[in-house]
Each structure stands twice: as C-alpha cells, then as structure tokens.
Amino acid sequence: MSRPKTDFDALREDLRRVYDGEPWHGSSIRDVLKGVDADTAALRTIPNAHNIWELVLHMTAWEDVVRRRLLGESPDITDEQNWPEVKDPCGAGWTRALGVLRAGHTKLRETAAGISDSLLDQSPTGKHSTRYVLLHGIIQHDIYHAGQISILKKE
C-alpha cells in the first residue's frame, strides 16, 4: 500500500480499513462479525455485559451521531439511543441490524470524503470536538467494540 498524500487521506483510509479492510490491529468489523448468527449475537455470555447484537446497535448509533456532528448538527444521544434494545431477535432482525450498521458506516465515510482538509481542525458545531477528533474517536470506538465482539464470540 502506498502512503496517503495527506494526514486526512490517511484518516479516511483508517476509517475504511477498520470496517472492511485489513487494519493493522487485527480483524475489521466486517470480519469480526462474519459467521455470527442471530442466536450467537443475542447470547449474553457475560452477566450484566452487552451482547454482540447490542454492541452492533450501539456502534450504529455512534456512526450516525458522528456523521451528523461532522455535518454541523448537534445531536445529543439518549440512553435509549446509545444502547438500543434488541426489538426483533430473529435471523431477519440480525440481518437488518448488520445492514443498518454497514449503511451507516458507508454514509459516515461519504460524509468524511466530502470534508475539505481546511475544515479538519475546526469544530463543526462549536459545541463538540473538531472533525479530526470526531473521526479519530469513531475509529477508536469501533476498534474497541470489535475487540469486545471478538472476545464474546469465543465465550
């Protein structure tokens, strides 16, 4: 792989790799979720801990919050939005949850691609972090939860 032209190009590439590439840290989100069925996703292997399905819904919520903040909105996130309840614990519901995560990540990447380098160090809302911090934050957030999912798959 060749070196990206700018730090922002590298950040955009990291965002892509974390979801469906070959990130340095290990498996991408797509690879971590490969082979996880609805029963496994809904299984609570550690008492009082989130299951895989809940983690996917949580990641989806934050992909949208960050995307909206990058666009200049100031969405707050309620506890119900932060950790949505699994409402349809069946195969079709799991497939839908994975599709919404994928679509949300795609929208986030499209939003990031549309930001000019000159805006990276600016806060889009004046209320939240800079775009640079928001993008690094969602990458770190996704890596953290991908690690949790990897552990839950092995329980």
CA–CA separation, 33 vs 14, rounded Å? Answer: 18
pTM for the predicted model, two decimal places: 0.92
Residue 26: predicted pLDDT: 80
In a domain, 17, yes or no: yes
Residue 117: predicted pLDDT: 87
More confident residue, 38 or 2: 38
Q: Are 146 and 30 in contact (CB under 8 A)?
A: no
Kindly tell me the burial class for residue 18, based on how many C-beta atoms sit within 10 Å of its own C-beta (0-12, 13-18, 19 or more): buried
In a domain, 33, yes or no: yes
pLDDT in tens, 23-40: 878 889 999 999 999 999
In a domain, 2, yes or no: no
Mean of pLDDT over the chain:
91
pLDDT in tens, 79-93: 999 999 998 889 999
Residue 141: predicted pLDDT: 97
In a domain, 1, yes or no: no
Q: Helix count (H) and strand count (E) of the chain?
A: 7, 0
Residue 135: predicted pLDDT: 95
Q: Predicted confidence band at 154 (pLDDT cuts at 50, 70, 90)? A: confident
In a domain, 44, yes or no: yes
Residue 3 has pLDDT above 90, yes or no: no
Residue 61: predicted pLDDT: 97
In a domain, 50, yes or no: yes
| Full domain range(s) for residue 149 | 7-154
CA–CA separation, 102 vs 53, rounded Å? Answer: 14
In a domain, 15, yes or no: yes
In a domain, 109, yes or no: yes
CATH code at position 56: 1.20.120.450
Into how many domains does the chain fold? 1
